[in-house]
Copies of this chain bind each other. A is one copy, B any other.
Amino acid sequence: MSSSLALDALIDALKCLPGVGQKSAQRMALHLIERDQAGARQLANTTLEALEKVSHCVYCRNFADTEICRICADQKRDNSLLCIVETPTDVLAIEASGAYRGLYFVLLGRLSPLDGYGPEELGLEALEARFKQADVCEVILATSATVEGDITAQFIADIAARYELGTSRLARGIPLGGELEYVDSGTLSRALSGRQQYQG
């Protein structure tokens, strides 16, 4: 038996978060009520606001507060580059690297007919519409390094070829700080075949 039904309800609700079970939910609920009521109120309000405001950008399918997301609307970005990613998380990861100033297109999945993800679900028609626009010059295929990701990249590369656009794929190789001893053989084989001229 617990002492408060409202607290029980909060613990239960927190369990909807990924990776949060009973113990973590208890710790979170008690922390919110005991030590950080301002944070708890902020969390509740921002959640409701996000639910109300956030939808998908009509250009890139990423999350947006308005019809066009902040990245697509930014005049300073290079609109000749279009980077195709699978999920909004991938956009956050690439933005965090600070190495890219172009635009994005978010597939919200990858080709996987058995799971019901065909060209339509990935918005490939909208993507093709963007290829037709004069401003895109290079398409960067940043789908994941898995079999399905590779197939998706190939499929999109074929569409891009029809519009005579340059396509590229993210480099495969040894990660920064990676020791050869611990790198898997597949990665090592790709790193060897993709070796580059040494620039001292």
Whether A53 sits at the interface, judged by CB under 8 Å, is yes
> Quick check: A39 and B13 within 8 Å, CB to CB?
yes
Contacts of A40 in B (CB 8 A): 16, 47, 50-51
Q: A9-B50, A16-B43, A24-B19 are in contact. Are A30 and B74 (CB under 8 A)?
A: no
Whether A36 sits at the interface, judged by CB under 8 Å, is yes
> Quick check: A18 and B13 within 8 Å, CB to CB?
no
A31 to B47, CA, bound (A): 12
Interface contacts beyond A17-B43, A26-B89: sample of 10 additional A-B pairs, CB < 8 Å, sorted by A: A2-B92, A4-B54, A4-B70, A7-B65, A13-B43, A14-B43, A16-B39, A16-B43, A30-B87, A41-B48
Interface residues of chain A, those whose CB is within 8 Å of chain B, are 1-7, 9-10, 12-14, 16-19, 24, 26-34, 36-37, 39-51, 53-54, 57, 60, 62-65, 69-72, 74, 87-89, 91-92, 95
